[in-house]
Amino acid sequence: MKTVAVFFGGRSAEHDVSIITALSSVIKPLELTEKYKVAPVYITKDGRWYMHDKLKDIKQYQGSGIEELLASIKPVSIDFDGGFSLVQSTRFGQKRMKIDIAFPAMHGTFGEDGSLMGLLDMANVPYVGCDLQSSVVAMDKILSKAVAKEAGLPTVQDVTFSASEYHENSSSMLDRIEQELSFPAFVKPPHLGSSVGVMKVIDRASLTEAIDTALHYDNNVLVEKAVANLREATLPIMGYGDTIIPALLEEPLFNSDEFFDFDTKYLRGGKGGKKAGGKMSGKQGAQGYSNVPANFPEELYAEVESIAVAGFKAAGCCGIARVDILIDEKANQVYFNEINPLPGSLYAHNWAKAGYSNVALVEKLIEFAIARFDERQKLITTFDTSFLKQF
């Protein structure tokens, strides 16, 4: 039986969301396949790695249990032994677990952003989801928009700049934003997910404040013109190579003058708060308050789906990702917005409606991971030369 290591937690603002993704949508379904031995690898907020069967139990994380458990076990270390093994010190020596497949279930920095994928590439182990390159593109809102534009996809008008450019002459940058975009607009730190640090601005004062906030999170800033008559849509997609499978278009429900910040998304169960669905769960999805499938006219649905799929391909995504779309309903204009390379809880609620059970979803994702790995094994990455003989 092959061992699948599921990585979750991590040094990220979305640490807790990652725990839910791993426990509800990855570990349990993987175990239910009865095909794999599942090793939970929990990464603490300060970056230590732990592996223990008790880490599969949500109750461990709901009180002080997790601290007590972690105090009783040793962190694991990594061994690149011609593959990828996790090594744990025990009273009786070392316990070594060879990992056959990795399943990253991490959101945000040091996990979803390509860092973990780079490590797994180095270890030459198959892993689920977007690879290093596509994760980097997807997790950078500026870069992903540039890639989408290059692919001919419509995007919302924006102004981007670095911290040093802003600090060099903030006044002229603010002037430029006002002239090119006008208000309202959105200020975003380009590398953070789950709307962390995103602010809606309505005048120069709020713009200045939002940029200062964004620069606490990132060295670059993306300011986007707000889309009027807004409807949003999001589309989970999975696939590799020629096989691209879109789930159902989902429309988060909220008024056009509002947007979902982290608190709304994860802590209040969507705009309707607890009454509308309570805390986030895998069944409800990150938004917890949405229409699946989106109630769009047939033509609009097809257009949104096609732009989302094109965005997935343009960024080179593989495995699974979720593409967000903005729509100006009156102008009938659809915009590519951003890509989330690891949707919360894999957006399992949406996939279930699209006909993929949780078990079928993880099985499919592992299929894609192995197909990509096998394909990459065929590539030549080294060759013999006489270069060193010159010295």
Residue 37 binds another protein, judged by CB under 8 A:
no
Q: Of 65-73, 156-164, 325-333, 352-360, which part binds another protein (CB under 8 A)?
A: 352-360
If the CB atoms of residues 336 and 347 are measured against another protein, the closer one turns out to be 347
- Least distance in Å: CB of 184 to another protein? 38
**Nearest C-alpha neighbor of 366 from the set 66, 314, 358:** 358
Residue 236 touching another protein (CB under 8 A)? no
Nearer to another protein, 144 or 290 (CB): 290
34 interacts with another protein by CB under 8 A: yes
* 356 counts as binding another protein under rule CB under 8 A: yes
Shortest distance (Å) from residue 325 CB to another protein: 22
Query: What angle do the packed helices 298-314 and 141-150 form, to 10 degrees?
Result: 110
Contact pattern for another protein over residues 242 through 281, marking x by CB under 8 A: ----------------------------------------
Place of tokens 């951003």: 338
Distance CA 233, CA 118 (A): 30
**Contact residues for 335 (Cβ-Cβ < 8 A; gap 6+):** 154, 155, 156, 227, 325, 326, 327, 328
Determine if 161 is a binding residue for another protein (CB under 8 A): no
Q: Which of 352, 365, 366, 369 binds another protein (CB under 8 A)?
A: 352
- Please tell me whether residue 219 adopts helix, strand or coil conformation: coil
Please, what's the b/e burial string for 234-264 (b: 16 or more CB within 10 A of its CB; e: otherwise)?
A: bbbbbbbeeeebbbbbbbbbbeeeebbbbeb
Q: Shortest gap between Cβ of 245 and another protein (angstroms)? A: 13
Farthest CA pair distance, the chain: 74
Among 3, 16, 32, 57, contact with another protein (rule: CB under 8 A)? 32
167 class by beta-carbon count within 10 Å (0-12 exposed, 13-18 middle, 19+ buried): exposed
Tell me: does residue 355 bind another protein (CB under 8 A).
yes
| Contacting residues toward another protein, per CB under 8 A | 28-29, 32, 34, 283, 351-360
